[in-house]
Amino acid sequence: MYQLKLIGYPIEHSLSPWIHEQFLARTKLAGTYQIHEIPLSDSFSEQMVKLKRENVHGFNVTVPYKQTIIPFLDELNEDAKRMGAVNTVVNDAGKWIGYNTDGSGYVRSLENAFPHLATERDTNRILLLGAGGAARGIYDALQHAGYLSIDLANRTLEAAKHLSHSKLPESKTSVKTLAEAEKSVATYDVIIQTSSVGMKPHVENTIISLKHLKKGTIVSDIVYQPIETKFLKIAKSHGALIHHGHMMLLFQAQHAFELWTGQKVTTEGMDIALKNILEGESFVNR
């Protein structure tokens, strides 16, 4: 009987319980996935003592505790170490091991939607917009998956420069202003929007103009509220192939589930169900 949890705050509208209950049903594993909300006024360490006692098989960690959890872990895997952030904890015979499946989940979601990308990772030209925590995870995972040409553009140039310090020796990265990125959108095969621009309630905002976009470019936005951001709508009108933000949510969960159970699980059909849930109600957290 798998006992799985999510810690964070606020998480009452999280979609993770729905996703993991689907995975449990699909793999025919008995278990539960419950939210364990930790308000900021609570003692985090007391909550961790409680969770240790419960001896759960594993748990997800979300905002604002992805870094706070680290001192409570026995081990960190390499991805989590590089990120300095953990979203998945596996209980391995009493030892808590921290992972980060956000970036790997993003790459899985992208290659699931566009399988040809995986066969030409080293030649695809990618533009990453934004330089916050989400961009860091995606930049890292793309490079480690073998994508070697990734340019970074951000409103604050310094933040993009700082992120570029995590470039692997074999990869190529130029740092650009948003204005420079806007002018050069036609030179990229994949454009990934990782900032919060365009998220509800500011649904009319886009991080850059896409007026120079060429047909057939893959345009991805990690914002999933709304499901189809203005950025994606404009991209679609230029003949781009678009990739929605809720797919990252689904695939980071798939990777976490594999880490806890050792079982492969398909996400087939879940993207549409998830889209319907998101369109039906207002959810605020991962």
Enzyme catalytic residues: 66
Please report how close the Cβ of residue 130 comes to ligand ATR at its closest, in angstroms. 4
Say whether residue 162 binds ligand ATR (CB under 6 A): no
Note whether 87 and 61 are within 8 A (CB): yes
* Residue among 220, 79, 57, 206 nearest 141 (CA): 79
Say whether residue 155 binds ligand ATR (CB under 6 A): yes
From 197, 242, 247, 249, residue interacting with ligand ATR (rule: CB under 6 A): 197
What residues contact residue 45 under an 8 Å CB cut-off, 6+ apart? 72
Q: Tell me which stretch binds ligand ATR (CB under 6 A): 11-19, 127-135, 245-253, 254-262.
A: 127-135
Q: Smaller CB distance to ligand ATR: residue 134 or 142?
A: 134
Phi, psi torsion values for 59, nearest 5 degrees: -155, 155
Q: Secondary structure of 54-71 in the HEC alphabet?
A: HCCCEEEECCCCCCCCHH
Binding mask 130-149 for ligand ATR (x = CB under 6 A): xxxxxx--------------
Say whether residue 156 binds ligand ATR (CB under 6 A): yes
Q: Tell me which stretch binds ligand ATR (CB under 6 A): 107-115, 144-152, 191-199, 264-272.
A: 191-199
Q: What distances in angstroms separate CA 193 from CA 121, 139, 245, one per listed residue?
A: 19, 12, 9
Please report how close the Cβ of residue 63 comes to ligand ATR at its closest, in angstroms. 8
